[in-house]
Chains A and B, each alone.
Chain A
């Protein structure tokens, strides 16, 4: 693997995380628990789709085969999508969605803070831009974790259940392989092991306020970064790709 291939793979992982989570969050549109939350969730989806677009644009440029951001977003096979399993999980109830978003937002904020210092100017610039909105997403999801955790007994039990279920997908956020190793040497990629302690301590802090427990079962699932997804992924892609597959090679 050369540097160019590594940057392409690295960028696609980031783009796919934003795309799939944006896709999931956009499914809430019109079905939120309160109108204000419909607006907030739609806005988060919009930010994530915007991030995905920027990273796919850059990936297409790095790839240099004349493809567009849409070719990369819509026309790959399931195994070629490299998002973590966490973001493709179904929305479930509002607490499931918030727990998924919270784990991701804590990671993303730390990740973009570091990536904005990358020696790769394009990645650094997109990270810088994305960081601003990610801070809002994190504020939003943190506040909901606290409200639901320290709300009613029902909401406490529900959000604890969401946390317990989704915990097994969180380690994969810190997945690294030779792509990362090669790019860390060039100060392009972020060394994710360095983020993990801060990720965990922020979560502990919010959970304490929310009266929630960090799950004790440490057994983890992984596969997304290598293109091996959950059963939900094929259905998500079927919707996402529907128009591009049914009406190939057209302008919209």
Chain B
């Protein structure tokens, strides 16, 4: 039998959610709400940190000083997003290092998009434009998420992401307006990133296992398929404007729904990459694990020094 008290608390909690009152760290919340948020926020944090790797791959080879500086600043922002998100998860009682270990052990996930390789400079454009673009579509509704610290972190993250998207589109535009080699580089890269970007919105609404409860709790406010459709509607004209072709023979404007119809996503590929069989899953996790292992002595030294300092101050 459920505790009467808990039922009452659950009712009050849902009433707050329904009234759009933010839930704050010290408020009572159902264990499942806490668990769902910790999972989602930590995954988001892991994605920001793993996301540094594919772009980091081009920093030393950026084509000029300005692009190098912008790319460095962008990747630094991603690390910063990782920090605020880990902090937001900590307000729910999550431990940052333990959650990182879960990711390294393959228990916790990060966005599968970062398991794709960055094979040309144009990929820096596509990641900013398409990947950050898809991330923004996902994250703008999160600014209204019911959990206060996550919603507030998202406001800042979205501002920076929208800057990232513009710089990505600017790289794509420069290439598309460049020499024939540059234009080909842009199109080839666009072909590789288009479908994985659409997969970023997750499984179809019918297949999404976490969605219903998240919608009820206003953690999630717009469905995967709706967000994906919005993204396609916004991105297709941007591609056309700079003369890039969408790699989808089934893409058509649908007058009735005032949106684009598009082809079927390769869900088998999506599932395989999620399960660890993408082109770079192993490389990404190895790189993160090595960073943690190689940094162990550094973190131990910092702790030991802090202890010594504390002891000195006390004596």
Contact = CB atoms under 8 A, between A and B. Distances in A.
A94 B305 CA distance: 16
A45 interface: yes
Interface string B30-73: 00000000000000000001001100100111111111110011
Interface in A182-234: none
Q: Using C-beta atoms within 8 Å of the partner chain, give the interface range for chain A.
A: 35 or more
A151 B300 contact: yes
A252 B67 contact: yes
Contacts of B63: 243-244, 247, 250, 252
A147 interface: yes
Main secondary structure on A side of the interface with B: helix
B79 interface: yes
A33 B69 contact: no
Contacts, number: 137
A42 interface: yes
B121 interface: yes
Given A23-B60, A53-B66, A151-B300, A31 B287 contact: yes
B304 interface: yes
A50 B62 CA distance: 14
A244 B63 CA distance: 6
Main secondary structure on B side of the interface with A: helix
B297 A30 contact: no
Contact of B59 (A26, A244, A252): A26
A77 B53 CA distance: 30
A117 interface: no
B301 A243 contact: no
Given A39-B79, A42-B76, A146-B305, A34 B65 contact: no
Contacts of A148: 298, 301, 305
A126 interface: no
Interface of A: 23, 26-27, 29-39, 42-43, 45-46, 49-50, 52-53, 56, 69-70, 73-74, 93-95, 146-148, 150-152, 154-155, 158, 239-240, 242-244, 247, 250-252
